[in-house]
Structures are given as structure tokens and as C-alpha cells.
Amino acid sequence: MLDTVQRLMEAGLGAFSVTREKAEQVFDEMVRRGQMEKGGRDQFVKDLVDAAGQTRSEMETLIASEMHKVLVKLNLPTREDLARVEAKIDQLLQREF
């Protein structure tokens, strides 16, 4: 289940990844339409890539927080819980043999 959730999360975050090449294509298209002037390309590309990175970071934080809430509500045993149970089983097995 967690593997599926991880894959879904990564796919969603991919939407917030903007490469320099893609940002340049967006800028070039805006210049072609007359919405931008050629001189500001470098700053536009930098701003767009930075904004996408910030949005991705914020989404990662939000998703991690929500996943934590869901896991707490499910009341699933933690790794520490399982380690304690294993240690107790080992103790009990050592007593009987």
C-alpha cells in the first residue's frame, strides 16, 4: 500500500517540476504571442524554475503531513512496536528452551 502511495505522490509532484528547457519554451511562446519581450528571458526562466521548486517543496511537506495523519488514524503498529514484540517473542522463546 505504501509503495503505491509513494508512486502516486511522485507522479503528482512531477507536475510541479519545471525544467529550464520547458521554461524557455514557455517564454519563447509568450514572446511569439507578444506577451513578453525577449530581453527578460533569463530572469523569467529563473523565476519560473524557482517558483516550481518552491511549490514542489511545499507540496512534499503537505503530502508528508497528510500521510502522517492518515497513518496515525489507521493506528498501525510502528517499526518500534514490531521490534518490541519481536524482542518479547525472543525472550519467551529463550525461556522455554
For the stretch 9-28, pLDDT in tens is 555 555 556 788 888 888 88
Above pLDDT 90, what percent of the chain?
26
In the block, cell 505522490 appears at: 9
For the whole prediction, is pTM greater than 0.75?
no
Q: Which range marks the domain in which residue 79 is found? A: 2-96
Check residue 1 and report its DSSP letter: -
Number of domain units in the chain: 1
Q: Count of CB atoms within 10 A of residue 27's CB?
A: 20
Residue 89 has pLDDT above 90, yes or no: yes
